Amino acid sequence: MKITKIIYPLIAATALLTGCKKEQKGPVSVEIWHAYNGTQQAYLEDAVKRFNESQSTYVVKTLAQDNSGFADLVYNAVANGVGPSIIFNYGSTAVDYAKEDLAVDISTYIKEDSAKGDTFMRDLIDSLPPSMQTDVKGFADGGIYYLPGCTTGPVFFYNKTMFDELGLTPPKDWKELENIGRTVFEKKGIAAFHSDGLVDNIQELIMQNGMGYIDTKNKKILFGTDKMAEIYQWYADCCHKGWFEFNTVGKYSSEDLANGTIAAFSGSCVNDQYVKMINGEELGIAPWIAESNGIAFYTAWNRGPIFLKHADDVNRGAYEFIKFFLSPENNLGWAKANSALSPYGTTQALSGYGEYINNLPSTSALPSVQANLYASGSFPNVHGGSQVRNIIVEYLNNVVDGKMSAKEAVAAMEKDCNAALND
């Protein structure tokens, strides 16, 4: 992402406010920019209110933004020195900020706290599963620029009425998914499957086929292989035969499943709130494919706060708010607000967390995510990593569209991915 030295109206207004604050005495101001709405926005604003009431050193403010263009707006604002201190996103997003020295390494504050006998943040991170600790600590320079807030992941949504009629069950591996595609198309004349999160599915195929992902030392991908060409060709063939649908017909996969355009899709667990089956058909929810070829790998998603650079006192204020926000009771509330799981053992130890998990509605997809967390893996947080994700899908698209052969696409993909890693 390129830095643009342009001050948008909102950024300019923020700069004026920031300038006024610097001339005033009082609590240090910390800004959170977000694109949440509904339950998530309400909970975030309530947590900010409670934090502000709990102390007088800092005052945290939230600024809601449109989701469209949010990433570019924030990046350019931060580059111009007038952006937020905190946004919520994935570790891969924090990489770009860290590379441009626009992110805050909170490991300094964690060490300072520990030296004073306050081990809360150290213990919090230590309570994460090993793969998620790698996600937090896996930045090239060893810094910590991001923390997970809650955990979601892909699950398998399907037309249970149709599956029962055809004697089908949710797939345990990719071959079973292919067979489901063949049967549904032959019997019903529609595509069986759409991937709502295609890059995550392809990343799983890469890892479950033992190819490895990125050689961080030499800054090159490890999956530019003949096996990757086979995966590209297999997926394209399934689309060409009508078994898989590459693009949605409506606006969302949930809409296509509900309307009977497709028989199933893999997508975020939060879709359990949005799939409304018509014609009296029953929705089925099952764990997504987590193992293949004897290799277990599942792409759980851990979205959370990224710390963006300001003056030292502002940076410390952002850190202190997140300490408050990720305390067990508050983190439990955030998980509930997001219809998600908590990744932290400190939160999971609460009796209230057990009650939350054990009393989920029968329509919740979270149990299907939890069933796969044993296989949860992560990818290195390196510069160019987010571009690699985009490039993977771009070249698969070229194969599906018939613009390139699978081998040509993999060769070009490897070249572009390596260039992104070395940019």
Convert the pLDDT of each residue in 68-88 to its tens digit.
999 999 999 999 989 999 999
Residues 305, 323: contact at Cβ < 8 Å?
A: no
Positive or negative torsion for Cα 126, 131, 132, 138: positive
Q: Which residues of the chain have pLDDT under 50?
A: 1-9, 11-22
Of 116, 80, 99, which is closest to residue 4 (Cα–Cα)?
A: 80
User: Which tokens is 336 given?
Assistant: 């509930």
Q: How many other CB atoms sit within 10 Å of the CB of residue 273?
A: 12
Phi (first) and psi of residue 378, to 5 degrees: -135, 165
What is the structure's pLDDT at 273?
Answer: 87
What is the structure's pLDDT at 12?
Answer: 45
What is the structure's pLDDT at 140?
Answer: 84
Convert the pLDDT of each residue in 267-324 to its tens digit.
999 999 889 998 889 999 999 999 999 999 999 999 999 999 999 999 999 999 999 9
Amino acid at position 396, single letter: L
What is the structure's pLDDT at 138?
Answer: 85
Residue listed under structure tokens 């932290």: 344
What is the structure's pLDDT at 22?
Answer: 47
What is the structure's pLDDT at 306?
Answer: 98
pTM assigned to the model: 0.88
What is the structure's pLDDT at 108?
Answer: 96
Sorted by sequence, the CB contacts under 8 Å of residue 418 that are 6+ apart come out as 219, 220, 221
SS3 47: helix
SS3 381: strand
Residues 226, 213: contact at Cβ < 8 Å?
A: no
